[in-house]
Amino acid sequence: MLKNELTFDVIKVLKETADRFQSELFQRVRSQLNGRDIELLDYVFERYYPKDEKGGRWYDPYHILFSTHFAVQLVKTNERVSPLIIPSIISHDVGYITLSEEMKENWNAAQNRILHMQEGAAITAESLVYIGGYKASETGIIVRMVGGHDNGYLDIETRDPDCLALRDADRIWVMHFVSFYKDWISKSKQQKDISLQSLYGSRWDRLFNETNLFFHTSLAKQWRDRQFAARWQEIQSDILKDENSFRQYVEQHIQSELAAGRG
């Protein structure tokens, strides 16, 4: 399908659905965190993503919660992954609140990726000092990870296992339902109606084949494979044929994902 074939506002439906389920996902994530990470999550959302106020990109709160939910499970199932990826993923995209609306819209530009990491690292340091509970050495690690979490997209490689685990937690959002379809709309504006199939194919090539972008943990690969299978089935089923079908599908899909512990 091409964007010019749509009969309704996809972004509007995605926003409304994300808003509807965000509270449930927030409480689920919060219930799995330890004391200091709870304080950080509460602080970040109260200060930078208050309800009904613009902060960052419209989907950032849901992205943060989804990726934090994944990070918690990754830490539980992989003893080699540091728990510090959890406060890092909570804070990783907060730097977008400092960018102009035009820069937020063009978030894929290299200079905007760099700026949001720089600003995010500074905000993260301030947040960690404010709430307390993290050692100086831990704060340094968290700030460093936030300050370089998008380096893979800039062809800056790392071998640090915690940075790679953080990348997995961040990148697992890429093929999430909300992310995939909002990116399609965005790319359609830039590339004159790129098809869903073309976007799917390019994501497959990048997330399976590009060294700097593929996943490093087995849990991320499992989630990735499930996401790709779901997106392909949706494309074949033409869930975008009308607004009611799309709205019903996305709500049922996210409900089932939440019930399965994936958010």
Where along the chain do its domains lie?
3-259
Average pLDDT over residues 226-254: 95
Residue 177, pLDDT > 70, answer yes
Average pLDDT over residues 192-213: 87
The structure tokens listed for 108 are 């894929």
pTM confidence score? 0.94
Amino acid at 17: T
**How far is CA 200 from each of CA 13, 52, 155, 167, 262, rounded to the nearest angstrom?**
20, 32, 22, 20, 21
pLDDT digits (tens, 9 = 90+) for 103-137: 988 888 999 999 999 999 999 999 999 999 999 99
Backbone region of residue 160 per phi and psi (left: phi > 0; alpha: psi in -120 to 50; beta: other values): beta
Average pLDDT over residues 207-212: 83
Confidence bin at 214 (pLDDT 50/70/90): confident
Per-residue pLDDT, 190: 60
Q: 170 with 89: CB under 8 angstroms? A: yes
Residue 153, pLDDT > 80, answer yes
The structure tokens listed for 252 are 């049922």
Q: How far is CA 69 from the centre of its chain?
A: 11
Confidence bin at 188 (pLDDT 50/70/90): low
Residue 211, pLDDT > 80, answer no
Per-residue pLDDT, 189: 60
pLDDT digits (tens, 9 = 90+) for 221-237: 999 999 999 999 999 99
At the top level of CATH, which class does the domain 3-259 belong to? mainly alpha
Average pLDDT over residues 179-207: 86
